[in-house]
Amino acid sequence: MNDRTEAPPAPRSEARPPRPTLPATPAAPAMRLPPSRHDLRPAGYAEDGSYDIARYIRDSTHQIWDQKFIGKIYDYYDPQAVVHTSNGDIYGRDQVIKLTTIRQGAFPDTRDWIEDVIWRRNPDGTYDTSMRWVYMGVNTGWSQYGPPTGRKVAVRGVANCVIKDNRVVKEWVSYNELSLLRQLGLDPRTVLEGAIRGAISNSQSAGAETARAFGEVENVIAQTTPPPIPAMPPEFDPEAFIRRAYHEIWNWRYIGRIDDYFAPNHLCHASSDRELYGLGDYKHDVLSRLAAFPDMRTHVDDVYWTPDEEKGGVRIAVRWTQIGTHEGPGMYGPPTGRRVKIMGISHHMMRDGLLQEEFSEWGEFATLKQIYGGGAPIPQDLLSARPVHPARVAEEEGR
């Protein structure tokens, strides 16, 4: 017996074929990146390094909306920026980016045509700007209103900004939403019902104004009169002129003063596509709005102006707020007793001491959301057609 343990045989080594020799990877040909087709220099600066705030507004808008560099919002908006809209408030830069992306997704070929920029430089180095724009595009993507309609739209709006260190820190925006719905081929009444149910929202505080309690509208001092009409300064001042005009016409109800502040051939491009020509149309529109909200009080929140070097005179930006109770009949349907707060922005062109032309947006569709947000039935014919001046209806019927 052999007690010696034999080692297992060594495994056979199998002969492996030699590895093929691979050709060396050819070196990449020398090349240069093509120059960018987009000029993304910091907004507001020209090639010579000079800075202009109106150029800042135009450059930043062009980069974000026309060239589709949505991420430039990180450069041009403060992280804690607040945007006040007719539908509610938007908080923070990230929300601005979100809503910008949604709108560009709905209108991928969006172009923003800037009609005017009115601005003021403040003693602390900040700027106030008021940009009037028209955005154009075809609805080929989903929007907050639903699937694409394939319709082309052109919608006017106004955006007022406070700019500090080349960043927007605060903004107010009002645009012609009712016109947008009509151009999309949608039924505004159906959209209004959906908005009231909370199915449609483009802000983080939508509906907050219709839910909160309101105090008394203080248009008069105790039981006497509205606040006194401010005196005009010895030298002409556009801001004093505007504040006095708004206070006399809207708060004192001196409708006849329109003859003193507005040119006889005054042209007003009002909210929801109303075109008001002449003083008669303008007086009718003011009276219709006051009749719907008999206790209305108008506050002028901000005024600044820019000389009109091309046509002479001045271009004036006015941001205003109206509060009132829907206690009268008229363009907004039967009285509902609902309190509303309306934020609006107006651009006035003034020459020869009179207001010649006006562009005003106050989010009239948002006003309707407040009026009918309490559950009042929406009249069937409320939004069935574009607003038409009664005088023009009479003219057509008389032909």
End-to-end CA distance of the chain: 135
pLDDT at 323: 95
* DSSP 8-state secondary structure symbol assigned to residue 229: P
CA distance 327 to 243: 26
The pLDDT assigned to 199 comes to 47
Burial label for 395, CB within 10 Å (0-12, 13-18, 19+), is exposed
| Residue 63, number of CB atoms within 10 A of its CB | 23
Q: Using one digit for the tens of pLDDT, what is the confidence trace for 1-26?
A: 455 555 556 556 566 677 777 677 77
Tokens of 334: 């039967």
Task: Give the residue with greater pLDDT, 46 vs 260.
Answer: 260
| β-pairing verdict for 152-164 and 127-138 | antiparallel
Q: Is the pLDDT of residue 59 over 70?
A: yes
How much of the chain, in percent, has pLDDT values that exceed 70? Answer: 85
Contact in structure between 187 and 158 (CB atoms under 8 Å): no
**Cβ-proximal residues to 6 (8 Å cutoff; 6+ apart), any chain:** none
Q: Are strands 354-361 and 167-175 parallel, antiparallel or unpaired?
A: unpaired
Rounded-to-integer distance, Cα 77 and Cα 97, Å: 10
- Contact assessment for residue 201 and residue 374, using Cβ atoms and an 8 Å cutoff: no
Whether the model clears a pTM of 0.75, i.e. scores above it, the answer is yes
Q: What is the pLDDT of residues 200-251, one digit of tens each?
A: 555 555 444 555 556 667 666 556 778 887 778 888 899 999 999 999 999 9
